[in-house]
């Protein structure tokens, strides 16, 4: 089933879809309300699209477009994912165990922040100069194209982006009125402008979610100012972020109704489901020869363990090609349910979903409590958390983000080494920042 077919069904049975969304939303609220800390919580954003996917499956089952065995598999695999997630208790902002503040090398994090932020800005400007501004281009995906050098720049941008933004907020809220605080305001302005110019519809929302992660981590430092700001101005911030998305849609999409376009993108958020499970289409993609290589081909190829020729084509591309009878080099993000069924099998897929949910919850809830307060802990937690929020919707994107985090930690180590060669390397207690 392709997108036009699904939208036609949706038009004819909109009441059933609304009922499905209502049922699913109530179930999510019942089980996960205590895990959501704000409407800007990346977890809520992730689970919002999970609701869309679940509603799509329920909708298709009710209107008899989905066989029972596929709907049952979805229920079991999604249930396994949630069971794994619920094994760790949620973050309680009112009962955070404030640890004794340790001494950190101030130069370590300053070196890292300066180097990575300058590189981030330089790479972004370099792409604008030599490739153009994505917002005003027919397809922002064509900006990088097949150019290896620009792919490298773009990858480093992805590596640096979240750590730099987290530290940017860290220094903005510093109690010292120094160079790093003033410089961070410049980085913030550049981030807002560049994200809009990049054509990202969720650009401002993404920035706010990074701020949210920073603010909840600051609670470990007995600092509640940033979190209180977010809580006090929630409505204003949300409206501002929504207006930003509308402006991007107006300039980047051929539509006279940007709100309708945004709603359309939301409703087809379950595209990986309606393009695979109805009519047993998913059976055309089953490949269980080597599930490990199928799932981890990209990092294995990067490490030289397997040949680039042995890397299978992205499953999303294959799904799109099946429906369009042509290779369009794009496609839906295959969710963990689909990857598990295709590469591991019915029961193996259920176990895979459980592991995904468990790992997601460990990073989100348990790691938060384990890490020591301070900027390094902030970077580690924030980078890993944003990586795992992609696990349910796009395993491969999440895997790439996790690799980016490892690269980021390497740069932190370089910053640490550089700080050690300074005679005036000072120890600073971050509880006073």
Phi, psi of 64 (to 5 degrees): 65, 35
- Which pTM does this prediction carry? 0.84
Query: Which alpha helices (H) appear in 63-147, and where do they start and end?
Result: 68-85, 106-131
Can you tell me the distance from the alpha carbon of 167 to that of 110, in angstroms, rounded to the nearest whole number? Answer: 9
- Say if residue 77 is exposed, middle or buried (CB neighbours under 10 Å; 0-12, 13-18, 19+): buried
What's the pLDDT at 69? Answer: 93
Percent of the chain with pLDDT over 70: 83
Average pLDDT over residues 324-337: 80
Which DSSP state fits 134? G
Six-digit token string for 277: 């499970």
Can you tell me the distance from the alpha carbon of 226 to that of 208, in angstroms, rounded to the nearest whole number? Answer: 12
Helix (H, G, I), strand (E, B) or coil at 343: helix
Bridge partners of 105? 427
What residues contact 281, with CB distance under 8 A and at least 6 apart? 1, 275, 322
Average pLDDT over residues 38-67: 91
CB atoms within 10 A of CB 354: 22
Can you tell me the distance from the alpha carbon of 275 to that of 70, in angstroms, rounded to the nearest whole number? Answer: 13
Residue range 393-414, pLDDT digits in tens: 888 888 888 888 888 777 777 7
Q: What is the CB-side half-sphere exposure of residue 213 using CA atoms within 13 A?
A: 32
What residues contact 92, with CB distance under 8 A and at least 6 apart? none
Can you tell me the distance from the alpha carbon of 83 to that of 69, in angstroms, rounded to the nearest whole number? Answer: 21
Among 299, 321, 249, CA closest to 400: 299
What residues contact 80, with CB distance under 8 A and at least 6 apart? 350, 351, 353, 354, 357
Can you tell me the distance from the alpha carbon of 359 to that of 365, in angstroms, rounded to the nearest whole number? Answer: 10
Residues 187 and 232: beta-carbon distance below 8 Å: no
Helix (H, G, I), strand (E, B) or coil at 333: coil
What's the pLDDT at 246? Answer: 74
Helix (H, G, I), strand (E, B) or coil at 427: strand
Answer with the residue of higher pLDDT: 220 or 415.
220
What's the pLDDT at 152? Answer: 67
Instruction: Say which range, 7-16, 202-211, 333-342, 405-414, has the weakest mean pLDDT.
Output: 405-414
Helix (H, G, I), strand (E, B) or coil at 241: helix
What's the pLDDT at 146? Answer: 53
Instruction: Say which range, 89-103, 259-273, 372-386, has the weakest mean pLDDT.
Output: 89-103
Residues 340 and 353: beta-carbon distance below 8 Å: yes
What's the pLDDT at 419? Answer: 59
């Amino acid at each position: 089933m392709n997108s036009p077919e699904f939208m036609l069904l949706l038009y004819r049975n909109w009441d059933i879809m609304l009922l499905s969304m209502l049922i699913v939303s109530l179930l999510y609220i019942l089980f996960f309300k205590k895990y959501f800390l704000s409407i800007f919580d990346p977890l809520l954003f992730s689970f919002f699209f999970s609701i869309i996917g679940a509603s799509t499956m329920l909708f298709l089952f009710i209107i008899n477009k989905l066989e029972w065995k596929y709907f049952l598999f979805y229920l079991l695999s999604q249930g396994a994912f949630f069971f794994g997630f619920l094994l760790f208790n949620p973050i309680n902002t009112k009962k955070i165990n404030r640890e004794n503040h340790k001494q950190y090398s101030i130069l370590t994090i300053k070196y890292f922040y300066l180097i990575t932020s300058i590189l981030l800005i330089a790479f972004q400007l370099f792409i604008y100069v030599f490739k153009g501004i994505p917002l005003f281009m027919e397809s922002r995906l064509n900006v990088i194209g097949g150019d290896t050098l620009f792919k490298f720049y773009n990858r480093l941008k992805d590596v640096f982006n979240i750590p730099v933004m987290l530290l940017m907020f860290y220094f903005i809220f510093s109690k010292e009125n120094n160079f790093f605080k003033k410089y961070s305001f410049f980085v913030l302005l550049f981030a807002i402008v560049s994200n809009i110019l990049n054509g990202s519809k969720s650009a401002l929302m993404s920035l706010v979610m990074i701020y949210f992660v920073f603010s909840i981590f600051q609670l470990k430092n007995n600092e509640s100012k940033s979190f209180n700001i977010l809580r006090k101005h929630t409505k204003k911030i949300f409206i501002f972020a929504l207006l930003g998305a509308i402006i991007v849609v107006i300039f980047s999409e051929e539509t006279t109704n940007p709100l309708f376009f945004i709603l359309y993108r939301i409703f087809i958020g379950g595209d990986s489901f309606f393009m695979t499970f109805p009519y047993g289409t998913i059976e055309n993609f089953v490949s269980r020869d080597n599930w490990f290589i199928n799932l981890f081909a990209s990092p294995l190829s990067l490490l030289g363990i397997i040949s680039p020729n042995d890397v299978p084509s992205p499953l999303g591309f294959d799904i799109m090609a099946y429906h369009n009878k042509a290779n369009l080099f794009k496609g839906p993000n295959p969710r963990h349910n689909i990857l598990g069924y295709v590469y591991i099998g019915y029961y193996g897929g259920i176990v895979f979903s459980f592991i995904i949910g468990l790992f997601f919850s460990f990073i989100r809830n348990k790691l938060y409590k384990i890490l020591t307060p301070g900027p390094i802990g902030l970077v580690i937690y924030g980078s890993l958390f944003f990586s795992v929020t992609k696990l349910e919707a796009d395993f491969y994107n999440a895997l790439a983000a996790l690799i980016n985090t490892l690269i980021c930690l390497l740069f932190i180590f370089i910053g640490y080494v550089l700080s050690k060669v300074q005679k005036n390397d000072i120890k600073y207690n971050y509880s006073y920042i």
